Amino acid sequence: MKITNPVLTGFHPDASVVKVGQDYYLATSTFEWMPGVEIYHTKNLVDWQLVSNPLQQKDQANLIGNYNSGSIWAPHLSYSEGKFWLLITDVKTGNAFKDTLNYVLSCETIDGDWGEPVFITASGFDPAFFHDDDGRHYILSMLFDHRLEKPNFSGLVMQEYDLKEMKLVGKRKHFFTGTDLGVCEGPQIIKKDGYYYLLAAAGGTGYSHAATVCRSKDVFGPYEVSPYHPLLTSKPDPTLPLQKSGHASFIEVTKDEWYISHICARPLTQRGACVLGRETALQPIEWIDGWPRLTNGTIYPDLEIVAPSIAKNVVQTNDHSTSCDFSEKTIPTYFKSLRRPMEEKTSLTDCPGYLRLYGEQSLTSVHNQTIVVRRFQDFSFKVETEMTFDPDNFQQMAGLTLFYDTDNWHYLHVSYDEDLESRYIQLETDELNQFSYASERIPIKENAPIQLVVEVDHDKAQFYFGTSEKLKKIGDTVAVDTLSDDFIKANGKLAFTGAMVGICAQDMDDHSSYADFSYFNYTSKN
């Protein structure tokens, strides 16, 4: 039996995996999206189910005002002394002085209350625990150096940590400076057969990304680089279907069966835009003379791999369709909100059978937006929703959006035009914080719910709307490849997330208006 990568499709980067008994848990980054950190569970490494979002409230992660693609980076999940341990970084600024606030949380159960984060340090990002078999515990991370004459990525540091006192002890040691690939980050350590194996990301998060392995007899080194170097990359071959491969995590199934999870991305064209963001894939590895190597004998990731031995009779699903009529007591867990808890400006009870969104700040705000989205998981899909909305003025808006960040989106919205003396619908686009209309302004005289639809097909999308009549196209197709890390980076800004689709509401007047949505259906068309 074979399975196809990625095993987690759409924006799911920086996977960290821990095995507890026969259960495997995987944590991924969420950046500015709340609830923060997604933890998945499986017993077979193929069928992953979302079971926990540890960062639920502002006292656990206050992301208000954080810059785009900042906030929650590369979590690390581990298990020791009867508890799960989660390390996170909240990245506040992205300039020469990168403020990277690292915290630790713990919980006895994976889906319990993780409590309030405890601050550790702000010296760098991508922190990870290593729980040694002698009962000592260490936290390692990359070291960020703001000095102009120094490399920002200054290698790796490690310091002992007291789990009972919840604080660092002893002195920080700069124990590894990286490899010839540069940009050393995302460190993780395992102990096997008397060696400490250091697995780290290298080469940056783009098309030069890689995973490297070193080992030492002492946890603080010195570390020797593997003869199979790098362990994983797709940099030399632009034709590989899985690009940007790196940032890996070891997974032990049995003593003789091992895997790594790793970041990957699938561009629309060769080394082009990756609108699905960075995804999570799986590769089998083998140990040769004490060193790990991909079982395919190369440094390149495979699109298809032999399923793990624990995945007998498991059917891998490639249909990511979801249907929601908002009749339940909670919003489905695949929905995310931007920088703040979802319940602050949403309600399932104020108009039963509908999701009510109370409008507040604009779609460009990095503070208090009202937006509910889910990630793209397919290159081709259709989203349908129906909205009831009665705006009083042009500053009240609501509708359907394809959204990357506050500077890059497409928005089919309903508002009010005082000259037309009626509601209207219009498609607006924001590309690198430059705004334009992608359709004419169409009056809506009929006082009825409005259907909003978008069909995405790889690099293009077509929007539709309708009331009592059949659906009508609005505007021409709009570009989807602009909603990608690659497009934004090519224009001078850093970006690390992925494209989203969802519903939103704004009231840039008195914050009194609201929109009611009766359903939200996402249909895979691959």
Nearest to 405 by CA among 485, 463, 486: 485
Nearest to 438 by CA among 409, 466, 415: 409
The H or E element spanning position 250 is strand 243-254
Active site residue 289: no
3-state secondary structure of 311: helix
Q: Which residues pair with 188 in a beta bridge?
A: 199
Residue 314 and residue 359: Cα distance in Å, rounded?
Answer: 44
Q: What is the DSSP string of 475-515?
A: EEEEESTTSSHHHHHHTT-------EEEEEEEESSSS--EE
Residues present in the chain in total: 526
Phi–psi pair at 61, nearest 5 degrees: -160, 100
The H or E element spanning position 460 is strand 460-466
Tokens of 383: 């989203």
Residue 266 and residue 243: Cα distance in Å, rounded?
Answer: 6
Is the dihedral angle over the CA atoms 475, 478, 483, 488 positive or is it negative? negative
Tokens of 436: 């334009």
Tokens of 474: 């609005």
Please state the separation of Cα 222 from the chain's center in Å: 34
Q: What burial letters (b/e) apply to 54-74, b meaning 16+ CB within 10 Å?
A: bbbeeebbebeebbbbbbbbb
Residue type, 501: V
Q: Which of 185, 384, 459, 516 is catalytic?
A: 185
Residue 466 and residue 468: Cα distance in Å, rounded?
Answer: 7
Q: What is the DSSP string of 403-416?
A: EEETTEEEEEEEEE
Q: Give yes or no for a contact between 374 and 334, defined as CB atoms under 8 angstroms apart.
A: yes
> Cα 486–493–236 angle (5° rounding)?
40
3-state secondary structure of 342: helix
Active site residue 14: yes
Catalytic residues, by residue number, are: 14, 185
